[in-house]
Amino acid sequence: MSRQSPPETRGTNARTLVLFTGLVALVGLIVWPSFAGRLHYAKTRAELAAIRDAAAGAELRSVGKLFTTLARVIGPAVVNVTGKRAAHSQPDEIGALRGETPAGTTDESVGSGVIVDSAGVIVTNYHVVAQSDEIDVALADGRRFKADLVGADAGSDLAVLRIDAKGLPTAEWADSDSVEVGEMAWAIGNPFGLDRTITYGIVSAVGRRGVVENPFQEFLQTDASINPGNSGGPLVDVHGHVIGITTAIVGKGFRGIGFAIPSNRARRVCEEIRTSGHVERGYLGMEVRELPLPPGNRSAGAVSVAAVDPRSPAARAGVRQGDVVVSFDGEPVTEPAALVLLLLRSPVGATLPMEIVRDGARQTINVTVGRRPHER
């Protein structure tokens, strides 16, 4: 026969259980936050230790060494260029990276350059060596040479020099058409005479126009520090390959806005100068204008043919006044400057497709790129 506790005892036990449970809860409220905090701190401390271990590991060390590796890769191919000319007063060109320093009876333009052929071929800016009577080149190993001007192109602000040296370290060209906004970029040059200075930034914009007086010249924009004396030096990518030739800044000093001639254009100009001593530019012989769009229409612009020279390549191909140019060589044409830039990139003598709209119907005309009449 089972025995039951008296009601008074059962009530006392229940109250005791409630009090004990409350006491445990109270202790938990007091102790748990402290315990949880210590647990979280221990976890955080372990994570920080893991991060420190990773920072000491090969992966992050290799990232840290990237800059020094780039300096070693590209640095030997960068040269200092000094153009000397008879002293005369010149107006200051806003945005040019020419550092003019009077030296007795001569003016000096101090800039940079990059070796693109181990046989002593150097690319620099035209404005660094323009009208120079003498051009001096200093290599990374300390040797100095008198340079010959192979040729220059004022339109692209590029010049090619040659020095009497063999087996020189060279820089490799990159494909500037594949460069995207946000990519890392390094500028190496001779700012203010501080030779082989390397600065770091990103590519801030591509296809930037309206930077210089020539409205048809496109640039890569970067926030890598560029100053007077950097002119003609390379802008390189993460592999140390040349994506551009630095040429201009906004204002008279570094403001985080610098510009470089894209490597594909610089390479083409360099090769043309080495082959023929000058640069030929494409010509179709037609006047084009931006076609006004109806009010409220925000679609891409269009280009209409305002006039055609009857003796021009465009006339021989059958282009007529009033035609609307839609594309050239497979690339869309939305403004006159775009068509001019495509022509500048096209080799003289090449036959390329040009899509037009005539009387409301699209058709393709094959045009042969001619040589501009003033060039021989």
231 is a catalytic site residue: yes
Q: Report the alpha-carbon distance of residue 245 to residue 194 in Å, rounded.
A: 18
Active-site residue, selected from the candidate residues 107, 136, 157, 237 = 157
Residues 6+ away with beta carbon under 8 Å from 288: 303, 304, 305, 306, 325, 336, 339
157 is a catalytic site residue: yes
127 is a catalytic site residue: yes
Tokens matching residue 8: 């008074």
In the numeric block, the tokens 């994570």 are attached to 47
Tokens matching residue 37: 């905090």
DSSP string, 38-105: HHHHHHHHHHHHHHHHHHTSHHHHHHHTHHHHHHHHHGGGEEEEEEEEE-------TTB--EE--BTT
Residues comprising the chain, all counted: 376
- Classify the C-alpha dihedral 36-38-41-42 as positive or negative: negative
H-type alpha helices, the chain: 7-55, 58-64, 66-74, 126-129, 263-276, 313-317, 336-345
Residue (of 240, 201, 241) closest to 221 by Cα position: 201
Active-site residue, selected from the candidate residues 107, 109, 112, 127 = 127
Q: Are strands 134-138 and 242-249 parallel, antiparallel or unpaired?
A: unpaired
Active-site residue, selected from the candidate residues 231, 263, 304, 327 = 231
Query: Are 129 and 148 a contacting pair, CB within 8 Å?
Result: no
Tokens matching residue 115: 């070796």
Active site residues: 127, 157, 231
